[in-house]
Amino acid sequence: MKILVLNCGSSSAKYMVYDWDAQEITCKGLVERVTIGGSYCTHEVTGRDEVKVERDCPTHREAVNLILELLVHPQHGVLKSIREIDAVGHRVVHGGEKFAKSVKINQDILNAFKELQDTAPLHNPANVLGIEAAQVLLPDVPHMAVMDTAWHQTMKPPQYMYALPYEWYEKHQIRRYGFHGTSLLYVAKRAAVLLGKDPFDCNLVTLHIGNGVSANAVKKGLSFDTSMGFTPQEGLVMGTRAGDFDAAVLTHMMQLENIPPKEMGSIINKKSGLLGITGQYTDRRDVLEAMEKGDKRAGLAFEMECYRIKKYIGAYAAAIGGIDALVWTAGVGEMAVDIRAKSMEGLEFLGIKFDPEKNRVARTRNMESDISASDSKVKIFVIPTDEELVMVEDVVTLLNGTYDVHTNFKYSFQDPQYRNKMRDAELAKQLQKKPGMAQAQARIPGQ
């Protein structure tokens, strides 16, 4: 069984093909600069060198078409025919209150996603475009939706309600939803494996830190609270999103500068965060480099981001009565040593104490790392996320009728014997060049 998973962003289309029978990734890639010109695709087949293909993709339909061409390419492909694809899984950022788990897409489902587009303006429109493009090009296979909000449907009213007029919730479902759920589900389940515990006996604070950033309090294996809210705008400092701030600033600035609502939405989502503070940077590597060269605004952005992360760690640890592990994931969480270190500085009173050398060498997307100090009461893990694998498993079990919410369902990666063959192969290459990384490799109890 061959499963294609698609994650269409506003200007990108990420993909992976998974061979379910062989339990391995056959290829993965990313089409970048979709809709904005200069589009190209980086395509990686397991065991082969990555290739780059340039092709203008004015819409997501061209991007999906390019992906399908590469899958059957005589030199770079992994399929003899597109007909080998048995199903397609799509990432959808916002599922609202209607969806607590993944679903097979029909027109009613697609219409529901369209109704939610304003609540995730950077993502849901692109998700829908990707679904529609793939349905045209692959009309004879089932298409499934995996929602980022589904993981957080276990939150209770005291955590997800806002102190706003209650009729806003009744009429318009104004509440906290949370996002990054597919990633957070994966790392929560993997953290339980690394702890050697039942997932529903684990208290965690997980930090998904990429261009978008969210913190998640996990109590007894369930999402208890999360930093993103009605939209992905709330919470921590992000690449271009403001995160938490006094909402009265909006009305004040709209009146002062005569800013219309749509433009203000663009400002807080696309022109704020690290970009707003530095005036030019969204990539943490650029922020750190500029800070080292004496750029005071870059230094301020770094300090602000780390302080906000630290504040959420402390708040969530208190909210769930202490934690078994602190988990870092996503591109920045997996790679940004300085951000991790600064954010955990001074948290020893919570039992969180990291090993500086292990933290320094834990810079890889191919290895689960334990960067805890030997006397740390709380485990500190760096777990490369794998949203695509969660999507694959949801799709396969939807096809065979065995899928259910995660409280009634066990994923293959919850098995202590689970291995990601592609990551293992890449890790072996990395360890040859940087053998010191091995000191941070997490060990599964009993292995």
What are the catalytic residues? 148
The residues pairing with 216 across neighbouring beta strands, listed in sequence order, are: 206, 226
How many helices (H) and strands (E) the chain has is answered by: 16, 14
Identify the residue whose tokens are 């609202």.
96
User: With contact defined as beta carbons under 8 Å apart, do 187 and 311 qualify?
Assistant: no
378: which 2 tokens? Answer: 């709380």
User: With contact defined as beta carbons under 8 Å apart, do 206 and 215 qualify?
Assistant: yes
Q: How deeply is 342 buried, as exposed, middle or buried, from its count of CB atoms within 10 A (0-12, 13-18, 19+)?
A: middle
207: which 2 tokens? Answer: 């930090």
What b/e readout covers 358-382, taking b as 16+ CB neighbours within 10 angstroms?
bbbbbbbbbbbbbbbbeebebbbbb
403: which 2 tokens? Answer: 């899928």
Long-range CB contacts for residues 390-393, cutoff 8 Å, separation at least 24: 390/146, 390/182, 390/185, 390/186, 391/5, 391/89, 391/91, 391/102, 391/144, 391/146, 391/182, 392/3, 392/5, 392/16, 392/18, 392/20, 392/89
Half-sphere exposure of 2 (CA within 13 A, CB side): 16
Nearest in space to 365 (alpha carbons), one of 437, 423, 433:
423
Strand 204-209 to 222-226 pairing: unpaired
5: which 2 tokens? Answer: 């998973």
Q: How deeply is 204 buried, as exposed, middle or buried, from its count of CB atoms within 10 A (0-12, 13-18, 19+)?
A: buried
